[in-house]
Structures are given as structure tokens and as C-alpha cells.
Amino acid sequence: MLVSPSLLSADFGNLERDIALMNRSSCDWLHLDVMDGVFVPNISFGFPVMQAMARHAQKPLDVHLMIVEPQKFVGEVKALGAKLMNVHYEACTHLHRVVSQIHDAGMEAGVTLNPATPVSVLDDIIGDIDLVLLMSVNPGFGGQKFIPHTVEKCRRLRQLIQQTGSHALIQIDGGVNRQTAPLLAEAGADCLVAGSAVFKAANPEEEIHFLKNL
């Protein structure tokens, strides 16, 4: 299992320390949650803060944009040195164009679905993308309760990927912990995002280790 801890739950007063902890851990990527107060009812951090994060991070950056008009920021995400730029299906009128812009910038393209958005909207884009992120909470806040329906949705997405021969990875974000993660592994998830489960744990490295071994 790939593991991408969300820095949204890190101690923002000690970011260098928390990123160093992630560098030492067995996590695969670092998940950066960008919120604009418009697409979601919260604001997290923007590019100046992420540039500081990127200076310390030794793991590939997985940037989850919970913002309207994400296509405006392809250049900024690229400048961070990000591996993957993740945009919401619900925020992109011309999704195919945005995916092409991300690829042209030399990054991998991820598409995120809110809990009420069905997997079937991906039918005509699944062959062109590198990752699908299924939100297992309504985006905007860390520490929310996992929506159980996501397990079934993950199974359906796995089927779509198999049927179409797509190489897209399945990532799940929201309420991932020791109870919910095994269900997602069984349903075919490739990558788990975890915020509070990692950073609020007594031993974050042990938590990451548990998720990695699923």
C-alpha cells in the first residue's frame, strides 16, 4: 500500500520538524491539501507555505487542490516540484483540457471525486489519468468520520480500471485509520491519505508502518 500523510494535520508551528519526521518514515508521498474558502468551506494554506514545505520535503509531493479554477495554478504546482497535481472533477468544466495541461507541465494528473459524485463520470477520462482520488469525507476539514459507502465505490472504480486497462491508481482520502484502512485495501485501493490518524498518533511512524503493510 502506498501511504501519503496529509500535512493538514501537522503542527503548523513546527512544520520543519513534522516534515523531517515524514522524511524518516516509510511513507511514500506527502499530501498537501489546498483549500480556497470557495470550493470548500475552509482555507488551509497556499503557495508560499507550500514552497517552504517543499524545501524540507524529501518525499514526492501529491498536491490536492480543493479550489475553483485549478487550471490557473498548473505553473505554481509545477514550480513546487510536485509529482502529482490532483484536481476535483466538480471544479473543472473542461477536465480533459486541465489533465492535458498537467501532463504538458510534466506532472502526473489526478482527478478527485466528492462523495456524491459517481465513478461513472470517469468513463471517458479514465484512460488519460494517472490517479483517481475518492473522497471518503466531504472535503474541507481533517478529522471527519469515514463515509462507509466509499468501500463499495472503490470496488466499482477497481472494476472500471480493470475493464478499461487504465493504469490509474486508486487513492482514498478522509477518515482513513486502523479500522477503515483494511476495508479499503480489500476493496482495491492503491494509496491511502491519512491526516489525523498519522499526526495525532502517539507514534506517527508506527501508524504509517501499519498502513504500508496492508
**Contact residues for ligand DX5 (CB under 6 A)?**
6, 8-9, 31, 33, 64, 137, 139-144, 173-176, 193-197
Single out the residue of 64, 134, 146, 194 in contact with Zn ion (rule: CB under 5 A). 64
Q: Which does 176 bind (CB under 5 to 8 A by kind): ligand DX5, Zn ion, none?
A: ligand DX5
Q: Among residues 47 and 162, whose Cβ is nearest to ligand DX5?
A: 47
- Smallest separation, CB 138 to ligand DX5 (Å): 8
173: annotated active-site residue: yes
Kindly name the residue from 28, 62, 173, 190 that is annotated as catalytic. Answer: 173
Q: Among residues 127 and 182, whose Cβ is nearest to ligand DX5?
A: 182
Query: Is 88 a binder of Zn ion (CB under 5 A)?
Result: no
Query: Is 33 a binder of Zn ion (CB under 5 A)?
Result: yes
Q: Which does 8 bind (CB under 5 to 8 A by kind): ligand DX5, Zn ion, none?
A: ligand DX5
User: Under a CB-based contact definition with an 8 Å cutoff, are residues 206 and 3 in contact?
Assistant: no
Q: How far from 17 is each of 36, 47, 56, 197, CA to CA, in Å?
A: 26, 19, 9, 18
Binding track, positions 166-185, relative to Zn ion; x by CB under 5 A = -------x------------
Q: Among residues 116 and 162, whose Cβ is nearest to Zn ion?
A: 116
Residue that is written with C-alpha cell 499530501 in the block? 31
Element (H, E) at 54: helix 47-56
Q: Among residues 18 and 173, whose Cβ is nearest to Zn ion?
A: 173
Residue 181: exposed, middle, or buried by beta-carbon count in 10 A (0-12, 13-18, 19+)?
A: buried
Backbone angles phi, psi at 188, to 5 degrees: 105, 15
CA 193, CA 96: separation in Å to the nearest integer? Answer: 25
Kindly name the residue from 33, 62, 130, 190 that is annotated as catalytic. Answer: 33
36: annotated active-site residue: no
Q: Among residues 174 and 204, whose Cβ is nearest to Zn ion?
A: 174
* Strand pairing category for 169-173 and 30-35: unpaired
CA 13, CA 62: separation in Å to the nearest integer? Answer: 21
Q: How far from 160 is each of 119, 122, 124, 136, 164, CA to CA, in Å?
A: 8, 9, 11, 19, 6
Question: Which residue ranges make up the site for Zn ion (CB under 5 A)?
Answer: 33, 64, 173
Active site residues: 33, 173
